[in-house]
């Protein structure tokens, strides 16, 4: 695999049989921008094509996983026609599909927090390792928006309705321990150890039967795949509409102005 520049927004390197992808925008807590989706898909394609790579670990630089979509870019998108907004959302959805249905195991290693679309990337992984004191949140509602990146699908398909509603309607930060209790986070580890433990799990998987693992992932993904695809389409359309609305304009302006939004 070609090594990216150290200042690239996504870094990739091979740790033995594991491809490690690192979100790398330290100044914005690894917030996502459209170019990152393309980079990550290219690295995933390369990992899939390489028979020496058994699995993928996804993590974030600087002791933080991902703060979600970059609100500066969202504000710019709000001025676009609805279908252009939808097309940009589809780029995120393309990456999420590739992660969720990747034929090799994907492990997310969370330090600090996974928010918004960052939470969706974590949920798309087959296994999640999270550090004590870290959190997962989907605060779209605080900006007058709705979840995208499969966020609502992951909540609805993997969590009890009341917990999913609490996460989506209030947009608060829930400690990873609550997700572990719900069976979504596989390991809660000491701060600073998430990547190391994820790599240990990856090493254990790499020593196993890889064709069998791929078949198991296909079986596990099969029953919910059509539902997931339909929900991605709903998310894309509703997010594109919401992003052009008055509530989103107020929510984004309030966030950038570091004040409480005034909805209604």
Q: In this predicted structure, what is the pLDDT of residue 77?
A: 82
In terms of phi and psi (left: phi > 0; alpha: psi -120 to 50; beta: otherwise), the region of 32 is beta
In a domain, 103, yes or no: yes
Point out which residues pair with 186 in neighbouring strands.
none
In a domain, 215, yes or no: no
Exposure pattern of 31-51 as b/e (b: 16+ CB <10 Å)? bbeeebbebbbebbeebeeee
Rounded to whole angstroms, what are the CA distances from 236 to 5, 29, 34? Answer: 32, 24, 15
The Cβ-side half-sphere exposure at 60, using a 13 Å CA radius, reads 29
SS percent in the chain: helix, strand, coil, step 5: 55, 15, 30
- Is residue 176 within 8 Å of 123, Cβ to Cβ? no
- Is residue 206 within 8 Å of 148, Cβ to Cβ? no
Q: In this predicted structure, what is the pLDDT of residue 4?
A: 60
Q: In this predicted structure, what is the pLDDT of residue 255?
A: 86
In a domain, 150, yes or no: yes
Taken in order 188, 46, 213, 219, the sign of the CA dihedral is: positive
CATH number at residue 140: 3.90.226.10
Q: What is the pLDDT along the chain (264 residues), one digit of tens a residue?
A: 555 666 799 999 999 999 999 999 999 999 999 999 999 999 999 999 999 999 999 999 999 999 998 877 777 888 889 999 999 999 999 999 999 999 999 999 999 999 999 999 999 999 999 999 999 999 999 999 999 999 999 999 999 999 999 999 999 999 999 999 999 999 999 999 999 999 999 999 999 999 999 999 999 999 999 999 999 999 999 999 999 999 999 998 898 888 999 997
Rounded to whole angstroms, what are the CA distances from 68 to 7, 143, 191? Answer: 19, 13, 21
Tokens 């989103």, residue located: 248
- Helix extents (H) in 71-189: 71-77, 82-100, 117-124, 151-158, 161-170, 176-181
Instruction: Determine the structural domain holding residue 25 and report its residue range.
Output: 10-194+206-210
Q: In this predicted structure, what is the pLDDT of residue 47?
A: 98
What is the count of structural domains for the chain? 1
In a domain, 220, yes or no: no
In a domain, 148, yes or no: yes
Q: In this predicted structure, what is the pLDDT of residue 57?
A: 98
In a domain, 111, yes or no: yes
In a domain, 18, yes or no: yes
In a domain, 28, yes or no: yes
């Amino acid at each position: 695999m070609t090594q990216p520049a150290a200042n690239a927004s996504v870094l990739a390197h091979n740790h033995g049989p594991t491809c490690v992808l690192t979100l790398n925008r330290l100044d914005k807590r690894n917030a996502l921008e459209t170019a990152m989706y393309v980079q990550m898909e290219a690295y995933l394609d390369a990992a899939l094509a390489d028979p020496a790579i058994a699995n993928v670990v996804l993590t974030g630089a600087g002791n933080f996983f991902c703060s979600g979509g970059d609100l500066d870019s969202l504000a710019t998108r709000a001025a676009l026609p609805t279908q252009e907004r939808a097309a940009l959302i589809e780029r995120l959805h393309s990456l999420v599909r590739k992660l969720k249905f990747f034929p090799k195991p994907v492990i997310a290693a969370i330090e600090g927090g996974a928010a918004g679309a960052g939470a969706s990337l974590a949920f798309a992984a087959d296994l999640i390792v999270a550090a004590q004191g870290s959190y997962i949140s989907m605060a779209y509602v605080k900006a007058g928006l709705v979840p995208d990146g499969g966020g609502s699908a992951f909540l609805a398909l993997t969590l009890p309705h009341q917990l999913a509603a609490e996460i989506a309607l209030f947009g608060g930060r829930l400690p990873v321990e609550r997700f572990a209790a719900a069976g979504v986070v596989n390991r809660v580890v000491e701060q600073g150890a998430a990547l190391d433990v994820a790599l240990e799990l990856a090493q254990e998987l790499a020593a196993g039967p890889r064709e069998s693992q791929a078949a198991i992932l296909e079986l596990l993904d099969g029953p919910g795949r059509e539902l997931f695809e339909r929900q991605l389409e709903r998310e894309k359309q509703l997010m594109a509409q919401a992003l052009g609305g008055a509530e989103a304009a107020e929510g984004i302006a309030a966030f950038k102005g570091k004040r409480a939004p005034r909805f209604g």
